[in-house]
Chain A
């Protein structure tokens, strides 16, 4: 087995991030706010949570390009 590792530490951080779950949660928050049925205090909390998620996702999308690790298995 041949392993090529690039920036493993950063990659681990990136690899633990659940992108699809984060996007789904952000979409859910936007949907809740769009419904207009959320009390103002809850809306403000959702907005804060959504902003944090959007920041995390944006940071993830920026850093993944540099965090490639390829494991090549040869017979």
Chain B
């Protein structure tokens, strides 16, 4: 039997077909080495353990954030023999594994995004309060979502929920979260808030919420965002990039909505204040009218009194000026023949007839002689 002889390209194709059949999707854990990014787009690295090392290739879009040599990562993808560059593992996703690697990856990404300003307070938008239409990105089967709905329902129900039920952990979670954010932002009728929630878990479980793609998609959201991941002590980068962070999903419900019971009490107190204030205003107005009425009475009395006093004064003045008054005291009025009052001796001449008026009679007298005034 004659041995089949492959051409080189034919053998590469055949081997790739075999590899694809045997390993259509495989996850490998190992330590990163020789990690480098080329032209801002291609990623090359070695994945190794104590005894072996394989070359890997990925695009920048499959990275969860900045990585560096020495990190332990889990790589998902397919093995492939390249026509020119030999064997490489084509990674579709890469996630740091282990607390140390995760923390280091988080720190590197946090530093990078912070420098870009993604966590700046100035970027934070206020959330509408209370919102009427919200989108919730979560695992709809999770206890976290159940808590969120339960507490929201107990507080404030006048809302429309669009629930995006997605993977919230694992290698495919970042893509699912980003996809949901993009779908929400493409809606013709945008919700007022996007709420992203997940319950507690290990650092690996929560890793998707510190994935660079997720953090950037949140930052780019046209709709304001509220993120609550894990427990209070867990702070994901998604929470730092969100417009508002809630410590837990339950807390997210509390931040998002007022408590109806409290609101009812508030409205009652406002209604009471309305009544009290208008009563006070009317009472003040009545008091003012009463004071004015009193003032009016006082003014009328004053005017009357003043008029009486003025009249009395004039009457007294009249009495003083009464020409009869000097006659009563013994004085007399002298008039000439024409009846004109004689005020000076110069008006009188010898032989003039004068009329002298006393208090009780008028006497006709003739001037005998005119002497000088003493």
Indicate whether A and B interact.
yes
- In the complex, A42→B277 CA distance in Å? 13
Interface residues on chain B, size class? 35 or more
B146 within 8 A of A: no
Residues of B within 8 Å of A72, CB to CB, are: 140, 161-163, 165
Instruction: Decide if A65 touches B277 in the complex (CB within 8 Å).
Output: no
Which among B237-245, B259-267, B296-304 touches the partner chain? B259-267
Which among B52-60, B279-287, B316-324 touches the partner chain? B279-287
Which chain B residues numbered 158 to 181 have a C-beta less than 8 Å away from chain A?
158-166, 176, 179-180
Instruction: Decide if B277 touches A30 in the complex (CB within 8 Å).
Output: yes
- In the complex, A16→B248 CA distance in Å? 30
Residues of A within 8 Å of B180, CB to CB, are: 75
Instruction: Decide if B260 touches A74 in the complex (CB within 8 Å).
Output: no
- In the complex, A47→B166 CA distance in Å? 51
Residues of A within 8 Å of B291, CB to CB, are: none
Instruction: Decide if A50 touches B158 in the complex (CB within 8 Å).
Output: no
Q: A40-B282, A57-B267 are in contact. Are A29 and B161 (CB under 8 A)?
A: no
B24 within 8 A of A: no
Interface string of A33-75 (1 = CB under 8 A from B): 1101010100110010011001001101100110111111111
B270 within 8 A of A: yes
Residues of B within 8 Å of A11, CB to CB, are: 158, 160
- In the complex, A23→B165 CA distance in Å? 34
Chain A residue with the shortest CB-CB distance to B137 = A73
- In the complex, A47→B130 CA distance in Å? 26
Instruction: Decide if A71 touches B130 in the complex (CB within 8 Å).
Output: no
Instruction: Decide if B160 touches A75 in the complex (CB within 8 Å).
Output: no
Q: A43-B278, A64-B260, A72-B163 are in contact. Are A23 and B266 (CB under 8 A)?
A: yes
Of B128, B179, B271, B285, chain A has the most CB atoms within 10 Å of the CB of B271
Contact for A75 among B153, B165, B266, B284, CB less than 8 A: B165
Which chain B residues numbered 179 to 207 have a C-beta less than 8 Å away from chain A?
179-180, 183
Shortest A42–chain B CB gap in Å is 10
Interface residues on chain A, size class? 35 or more
Residues of B within 8 Å of A26, CB to CB, are: 267, 270
Instruction: Decide if A64 touches B165 in the complex (CB within 8 Å).
Output: no
Instruction: Decide if A65 touches B163 in the complex (CB within 8 Å).
Output: no
Residues of A within 8 Å of B278, CB to CB, are: 33, 43-44, 47
Of B129, B277, B284, chain A has the most CB atoms within 10 Å of the CB of B277
Q: A20-B128, A54-B271 are in contact. Are A60 and B164 (CB under 8 A)?
A: no
Contact for A69 among B140, B156, B160, B183, CB less than 8 A: B160
Residues of A within 8 Å of B293, CB to CB, are: none
Residues of A within 8 Å of B267, CB to CB, are: 23, 26, 54, 57-58, 61
Residues of B within 8 Å of A69, CB to CB, are: 160-161
Q: A54-B271, A61-B263 are in contact. Are A71 and B162 (CB under 8 A)?
A: yes
Q: A15-B160, A64-B157 are in contact. Are A36 and B274 (CB under 8 A)?
A: no
Residues of A within 8 Å of B125, CB to CB, are: none
Shortest A2–chain B CB gap in Å is 9
Residues of A within 8 Å of B305, CB to CB, are: none
Shortest A3–chain B CB gap in Å is 9
Residues of B within 8 Å of A54, CB to CB, are: 267, 270-271, 274
Contact for B270 among A27, A68, A75, CB less than 8 A: A27
Shortest A19–chain B CB gap in Å is 6
Shortest B190–chain A CB gap in Å is 13
- In the complex, A44→B179 CA distance in Å? 55
- In the complex, A70→B128 CA distance in Å? 19
Residues of A within 8 Å of B166, CB to CB, are: 75
Which residues of chain B have a CB within 8 Å of any CB of chain A?
128-130, 132-133, 135, 140, 153, 156-166, 176, 179-180, 183, 260, 263-264, 266-267, 270-271, 273-274, 277-278, 280-282, 284-285
8 closest Cβ contacts across the A-B interface? A33-B277, A64-B158, A47-B278, A72-B163, A54-B271, A50-B274, A71-B162, A43-B281
**Knowing that A23-B266, A73-B163, A73-B165 are A-B contacts, what are 5 other residue pairs whose CB atoms are under 8 Å apart, sorted by A's residue number?**
A30-B273, A50-B274, A54-B271, A61-B264, A71-B160
